[in-house]
Amino acid sequence: MTVLKLCGIAVLGVAAILVVRSAKSEFAIPLSVVTGTILLTSALATVYPMVDFVKELSDVGSFTLYASTILKALGIGLLSQSAVDFCHDCGENAIASKLEFAAKAGILLLGLPIIRELLTLATEMMK
C-alpha cells in the first residue's frame, strides 16, 4: 500500500474516531485500535522486501545470527511501542510501563546467544 493511501487511511481514521467519540465514546478506542493495526501491518508489509534482502545478505556474509537478532529486536520494539501507545491512549499507564519492561526483557533475551558466544570466545582466548 502506498504512503498516500496510508496517509488517507490515517486521516479518515482520526476523523471517524472524533465523530464516534462525540456520539458513542465506547467505540472510539476499538476504532483507534483497528486504524492503528491497519497502518502498522501496511507499514510492515512495505518493509518486508527489505527484510528479505537483509536475509539474503546475511546468508552470503555469514552474519545470520546477528541479522536475525537485530530484525527480531526491531519487530518486538515496533509492536510493543504500538501496544504501549494504545495503553497510554486508554489511560492505562501502569499496564503501559509493564509492557515496556516486558519488551525490554524480550529484546535483551534476544542478545543472550551473542553474549554467550562472546564469553565463549573470550574463555577460549584466555586458554
Closer residue to another protein (CB): 18 or 115: 115
| Smallest distance, another protein to C-beta of residue 3, A | 14
Interacting residue ranges for another protein, rule: CB under 8 A = 47, 50, 54, 57-58, 61-63, 66-67, 69-70, 73-74, 77-78, 80-81, 84-85, 100-101, 103-104, 107-108, 110-111, 114-115, 117-118, 121-122, 124-126
Closer residue to another protein (CB): 11 or 121: 121
Closer residue to another protein (CB): 27 or 101: 101
| Smallest distance, another protein to C-beta of residue 112, A | 9
Q: Mind spelling out the 3-state secondary structure of 11-59?
A: HHHHHHHHHHHHHCHHHHHHHHHHHHHHHHHHHHHHHHHHHHHHHHHHH
Q: What is the dihedral of CA 74, 77, 78, 82, to 10 degrees?
A: 170
Other Cβ atoms closer than 10 A to 48: 10
DSSP state of 2: -
